[in-house]
Structures are given as C-alpha cells and as structure tokens.
Amino acid sequence: MTKTAKPNPEKILPAFDLEAFWMSERDSHLAVAEKTFETLKEDFALMIDACARSLSAGGKILFFGNGGSAADAQHLATELTVRFVKNRAPLPALALTTDTSSLTAIGNDYGFDHLFSRQVDALGQAGDIAIGISTSGNSPNVLNGLRAARSKNIITVGLAGRNGGKMPEFCDILLTVPAEETARIQEMHITLGHMLCGALENKLGLV
C-alpha cells in the first residue's frame, strides 16, 4: 500500500521576491488598462449604442466564451438580469455557457465546436445581440456562434485580444484589447463588461 507523503513544514521553498512580483503585476495591468482606454472608446460606444437599441426594441443579449471567458459570460448576463448598481427592471440577457445538459448533449452529438452555434440557432432572434468572448479571437466554437448569429441577422460583438485573431471576419463590432498576455486581456474584458452594464443602466434611464 502506497503511503501519501506528508507536507514537510521545514522544507525550504524557492526564493520569491514578492515586492518585485507585486510591482511588476501592477505596472503590467496599468499599462494595458491605459492602452485600452486610449484605443477602444469609439468601439465601446458602438457596442453600447447597439445593445441599447436592441434592448429598447425587445431584443436580448447572448454571451458566450470558454474557460475564463465563460465565467465572464455568465457574470455579465447576471449583472443585467439582476442588477449592476441599483434596483431596476431586469434586462434580458443569457449566458450560453451554463446549461450543462445542452452543453454535454451538443458536445456529444455534434462536437465541441458547435456548443454555441446550436444554442444561437435555437434561442437567437433577429435584432438580438451576440457577444462572443475569446482572448485569442480564434476559438472555433465562439466563431461558429458568431457565424450562426450573423445568419439570423443578429448583431455580432466580439471581445478579443492580441491582434483579434479571426474575429474581425465575424463581428459587426470588435473590441480588441491591446495586449498579448491572457490574464491582462481577461482583466480588461471584465472591466469593459462592467462598463457595458453601467452604461446600459444609465443610457436606458434605469438608474
């Protein structure tokens, strides 16, 4: 029978300069944040206008992505359907990342690349907004979801990073975070997402 090794509290850990790490992460984050705010204002305004027009006309917002981007999708959908700042009427939004029965059935029967396109076909309607989130801009299932949205006259919005990958081909509006590191891109995605929620509450007169 194999014995499980017990932690040794006297074990010497590798040297780690916490102060240097702390300052490096701060500087990296602030640099990307500054570039994002310098370059994406116009694209952000286009996203806000499109989403506000859709919601005002009875449309909804569909969010989708993988991994950390999946978490962002359900986070932002919840901010809209519940509240962001103050009590208000709910705003219709769905994360296509939360129904485990749908996700596993689609993945099993049609393949992982169709996780979002199948749901967009089922749930999306002309005039809705589809927001695909991908740090690389190359996730096949996100691109397929955007392609399916386009075929249904759904306005497509992308949140990407690096050079945008293949997303420009599938997006009516694209916000590409000017960074290479996944963590920095994701930090800006949730920042832009929170700003989306706050801007919609104000633009729609809900605050």
Q: What is the mean pLDDT of residues 97-122?
A: 98
Q: How many domains does the chain have?
A: 1
Q: Is 28 buried (19+), middle (13-18) or exposed (0-12) by CB count in 10 A?
A: middle
**pLDDT for 146-203, tens place per residue?**
999 999 999 999 999 999 999 999 999 999 999 999 999 999 999 999 999 999 999 9
pLDDT class of 37 with cuts at 50, 70, 90: very high
**Percent of all residues in the chain with a pLDDT value above 90, rounded to a whole number:** 89
Range of the domain at 143: 40-203
Report if residue 133 sits inside a domain. Answer: yes
Q: What is the mean pLDDT of residues 98-106?
A: 98
Report if residue 1 sits inside a domain. Answer: no
Whole-number Å distance between alpha carbons of 11 and 121: 56
Res 205: pLDDT: 76
Query: Which pTM was predicted?
Result: 0.93
Amino acid at 143: L
Report if residue 23 sits inside a domain. Answer: no
